[in-house]
Structure 1
Amino acid sequence: MATLDNTSLHLPVENPEAEDFLPLLGTDYVELYVGNAKQAAHYYMSAWGFQPLAYAGLETGLKDRVSYVLQQDKIRLVLTSPLKPGGEINQHINSHGDGVKAIALWVDDAEKSYRETTSRGAESFLEPETFEDENGKVKLSGIHTYGETVHIFVERNEYNGPFLPGYREWNPHYRAEDTGLRYIDHMVGNVGWNEMNKWCEFYAKVMGFAQLVSFDDKDISTEYTALMSKVMSNGNGRIKFPINEPAEGRKKSQIEEYIEFYNGAGVQHMALATNNIIETVTKLRDRGVEFLTVPATYYEDVLDRVGEIDEDLAPLRELGILVDRDDEGYLLQIFTKPILDRPTMFIEIIQRKGAKSFGKGNFKALFESIEREQASRGTL
């Protein structure tokens, strides 16, 4: 089985304010409910360089759904579609379009994780249950979070199969070259008016997270729109969840647009890390992935603002990659346009060169770019 990093002991402390009564080893997988999993899988393979890993459907005894599992380094995506009308998956797609249903977290003890979170007020989604096949056993449990999103706790130290019991190895002829994506850096949730603090408190109380950083409407605003954001993180820093809410502005913000088209709170974007953002973005762009662009004037003074960097400025300018610096280093980042028909989910590509922050110096240029896209859609 292609596995994540198996180091589960003595994880470094990145966020000492976190209580960390819920040890999390990393993101196990992200499951999206989609209208056509077969075609979505081809998109993430051909455009993004994900590799086929596992499959479950009619051929494996499932009668109501089909799932394709893709992997690139430590990132696992599960794409699930319904096989019959009615039911929860269809309802989710009808309401939200394609979108993230589950953020699965890799743990040593799924039962303890369930007990710790539900005893602190989390609503149960899946009581602890053990699933077995000829490759061993996996214990799963789960809780609800914002909107219809859930967290699944995955205990898999006694399993050697391709993904989970009930899945078989998926080995099609077609395999695209990977694009250098390495792991999930963070996942951002959009919530409604005045709900940011509620969900930040949820992660603090229920999961032992602590706030890394916060941004108010003075940090994240343009002439027209504004939003607020707080970043919650567990102790070892492997799980980081920024939570966004709208703020008052002259026009409709990107958060309001998201909530309108997603029909509620949900995952706005995944930030995927790379060790060479120029190479990764070049490959993605050549395969048809569309990115937001910033005016050429952004690059006229970027080095005055961020100081010396290792990269040549020319390819960053040509690709539209943004740069920002904090006390510990700098980062490079770029954001796709929405990757779905609804203007909801997008993907960020990020390369950290020591920086622990999230690109505050780029917010104005980025959100002005998003506003130009909103204006083209008639939703600003």
Structure 2
Amino acid sequence: MAASARRLCHIAFHVQPEQPLARDLQRFFGFQPLAAREGDGWRQLALRSGDAIFLVNEGAGPGDPLYGLDSRHAVPSAANLCFDVDDATAAARALTARGCCLQVPPVIMQDAHGAATYTVVNSPVGHLSLTLLERPGYCGPFLPGFGPVPSVPGSCWVTHVDHLTLACSPGSSPTLMHWFQDCLGFRHLPLSPGEDPEVGLEVTAGVGRGGLRLTALHTPVNSAVPTLVLAESLPGASSGKDQVEQFLDRNQGPGLQHVGLYTLDIMEATERVAAAGGQLLMPPEAYYQQPGKESQILAAGHEPSRLAQRGILLDGDQGKFLLQIFTKSLFPEDTFFLELIQRQGATGFGQGNIRALWQSVQEQAARCRRT
């Protein structure tokens, strides 16, 4: 293991000036401005909801934005994941020894609130880069080089990032899994009993409809890193492309497909997003008409008609349940979306839930293509 990721600091996005990502995160999803920086042709704005921090980089300066890399990608999308590590310089040496390409060697940044050291490495996932950050005792609003910005008072309904889902090329999951294990200290997290880490969880969508392969990774329990989920399409679809294949086309390669944001009250969060004008993905009515679905929802303590009205998905058993809902893409290019998730005792991703979610999203996509 070359480095051990201890915490997710932030998720960075590159967008063109006037692209409304920062505005939409505030307006629809309750994020608040945290800190900002302008310089070298870049405007960088960090937004926060609970412990979830998104860094929106606008522009394209002559150099790289602080704490990241200007990948000059053709479409707006998630560009960088930043993880806290104990020693960024030692991590850089270890990653180099493993053959990793350092795009930004260790850099020390400091201001009146303290210092931080960071390095940026290419990841094996398309244009997505990874920043390894060391910031012992830093007490500023975000990171050195950023100044505080006024925030608008408001309630926050997201507590932290629950998981990060990477859309991967077919057959690449084992290679990516070993890279994250060897380089950042992730471990395989079985999604079903006796799961082979080289195979992952295969979720078939029916004859002639292909399916999905999921491989989950997590870090030791004393860290604060979200679960990493690798998603790739299974062969077998007779017509059309599933959402992973569509993402690969629109993103021009693998990347961060969506971020799961944890909420303590998904009903309230969903109502607030809808009231603000945020666009949520509504599953087909057939999802709630599955045999046993109504009793399952009641067993979880919820009203079936209310969940159906809001489009909230639920699955689980033996007193452990997951509630989830997806947003529509935050970019016109359909390269990134959010998920709101609430856990009632469930700690992983149940196989039945994954299959139901996959099928409902596929059916919704097919319905949109017909209209």
Shorter-chain TM band: 0.7 to 0.9
Residue 328 to residue 200, structure 1, CA distance change in 2 (3 Å): farther
Q: Kindly indicate whether the alpha-carbon contact (under 8 Å) linking 2:118 and 2:133 is maintained by their aligned counterparts in 1.
A: yes
Which residue number corresponds to residue 262 of structure 1?
251
* Distance of 2:368 and 2:61 partners within structure 1: 33
The worse-fitting range, judged by mean Cα deviation, of 280-289 and 300-309 is 300-309
Mapped pair 1:281 → 2:270: yes
Which residue number corresponds to residue 319 of structure 1?
310
Q: Which of 185, 201, 211 in structure 2 is aligned with 1:226?
A: 211
The worse-fitting range, judged by mean Cα deviation, of 107-116 and 25-34 is 107-116
TM-score between the two structures when normalised by the length of structure 2: 0.86
Which residue number corresponds to residue 189 of structure 1?
166
Report how far residue 38 of structure 1 moved.
7.0
* Distance of 2:28 and 2:297 partners within structure 1: 31
Q: Which of 321, 328, 353 in structure 2 is aligned with 1:330?
A: 321
Report how far residue 218 of structure 1 moved.
4.9
* Distance of 1:361 and 1:221 partners within structure 2: 12
Q: Kindly indicate whether the alpha-carbon contact (under 8 Å) linking 2:12 and 2:55 is maintained by their aligned counterparts in 1.
A: yes
Instruction: State the Cα RMSD in Å.
Output: 2.7
Q: Kindly indicate whether the alpha-carbon contact (under 8 Å) linking 2:116 and 2:136 is maintained by their aligned counterparts in 1.
A: yes
Count of residues in Structure 1 that have an aligned counterpart in Structure 2: 351
**Aligned pairs for 1:22-171 within 5 A:** 22-36=3-17, 39-57=20-38, 62-83=39-60, 89=70, 91-92=72-73, 95=74, 97-145=75-123, 146-171=125-150
* Distance of 2:136 and 2:362 partners within structure 1: 46
Report how far residue 303 of structure 1 moved.
4.6
Mapped pair 1:349 → 2:348: no
Report how far residue 166 of structure 1 moved.
1.4
Q: Kindly indicate whether the alpha-carbon contact (under 8 Å) linking 1:37 and 1:79 is maintained by their aligned counterparts in 2.
A: no
Mapped pair 1:362 → 2:353: yes
* Distance of 1:196 and 1:132 partners within structure 2: 38
Which residue number corresponds to residue 202 of structure 1?
179
Which residue number corresponds to residue 246 of structure 1?
233
| SS of residue in 1 equivalent to 2:283 | coil
Residue 235 to residue 322, structure 1, CA distance change in 2 (3 Å): same
TM-score between the two structures when normalised by the length of structure 1: 0.84
| SS of residue in 1 equivalent to 2:273 | helix
Report how far residue 208 of structure 1 moved.
2.4
| SS of residue in 2 equivalent to 1:259 | helix
Long gaps (5+) in structure 1: 1-18
| SS of residue in 1 equivalent to 2:47 | strand
- Give CA deviations for 1:18-71 in whole Å, capped at 9, x if unaligned: x7x7443321011011123673221111111111111111xxxx1221111111
- Give CA deviations for 1:60-98 in whole Å, capped at 9, x if unaligned: xx1221111111110111000125589874821xx2x22
* Distance of 1:221 and 1:353 partners within structure 2: 26
* Distance of 1:49 and 1:222 partners within structure 2: 38
Long gaps (5+) in structure 2: 192-198
Report how far residue 226 of structure 1 moved.
1.6
- Give CA deviations for 1:130-179 in whole Å, capped at 9, x if unaligned: 1011221111122221111111112222322221221111116xx26234
Residue 178 to residue 201, structure 1, CA distance change in 2 (3 Å): same
% identity of equivalent residues: 24
Report how far residue 363 of structure 1 moved.
3.3
Residue 164 to residue 368, structure 1, CA distance change in 2 (3 Å): same
